[in-house]
Amino acid sequence: MDQTELLALFDAQLRRDLVADDPGTRFERVGDVVRATAPDWNGVLWSDLDDDTADAAVAAETAYFDAAGRDFEWKLYSHDRPADLADRLLAAGFVPEPEEALMVAEIAELPMEAPLPEGVRIDDVTDAAGVRLMTRVNELAFGRVHAEMERQLLRQLGSESTVMAVAVAGDVPVCSARMDLHTGTGFASLWGGGTHPEWRGRGIYRALVAHRAKIAAERGYRYLQVDASDQSRPILERLGFRVLSTTTPYVRTAAAKDGASTG
Within a domain: 200? yes
Residue 233: strand pairing partners: none
Q: Does residue 253 share a domain with residue 147?
A: no
Q: Does residue 154 share a domain with residue 251?
A: no
| Three-state SS at 116 | coil
Asked if the model's pLDDT at residue 210 lies above 60, the reply is: yes
Residue 248: strand pairing partners: 76
Q: How far apart are the first and last CA of the chain?
A: 39
Q: What is the pLDDT of residue 149?
A: 82
Within a domain: 263? no
Model confidence over 103-123: pLDDT tens digits? 999 999 999 999 999 999 999
Asked if the model's pLDDT at residue 130 lies above 60, the reply is: yes
Within a domain: 217? yes
For residues 45 and 35, the answer to whether their CB atoms sit within 8 Å is yes
> At 58, which CATH number?
3.40.630
Q: Does residue 13 share a domain with residue 76?
A: yes
Within a domain: 106? no
Within a domain: 65? yes
Q: Does residue 134 share a domain with residue 88?
A: no
Q: Does residue 149 share a domain with residue 169?
A: yes
Q: Among candidates 162, 174, 180, which has minimal Cα distance to 122?
A: 174
Q: What is the pLDDT of residue 148?
A: 75
Q: What is the pLDDT of residue 145?
A: 64
Range of the domain at 25: 3-101+247-257
Q: Does residue 219 share a domain with residue 142?
A: yes
Q: Does residue 136 share a domain with residue 235?
A: yes
Q: Does residue 146 share a domain with residue 29?
A: no
Q: What is the pLDDT of residue 20?
A: 87
Within a domain: 262? no
Asked if the model's pLDDT at residue 83 lies above 50, the reply is: yes
**Looking at the 3D structure of the chain, how many domains does it have?**
2
Model confidence over 14-56: pLDDT tens digits? 999 999 888 789 999 999 999 999 988 999 999 999 999 999 9
Within a domain: 75? yes
Within a domain: 252? yes
Q: Does residue 64 share a domain with residue 97?
A: yes
Q: Does residue 160 share a domain with residue 123?
A: yes
Question: Alpha-carbon distance 151 to 140, whole Å?
Answer: 18
Percent of the chain at pLDDT > 90 equals 81
Question: Alpha-carbon distance 225 to 147, whole Å?
Answer: 25
Q: Does residue 82 share a domain with residue 46?
A: yes
Q: Does residue 45 share a domain with residue 8?
A: yes
Residue-averaged pLDDT of the chain: 92
Model confidence over 170-200: pLDDT tens digits? 989 999 999 999 999 999 999 988 899 999 9
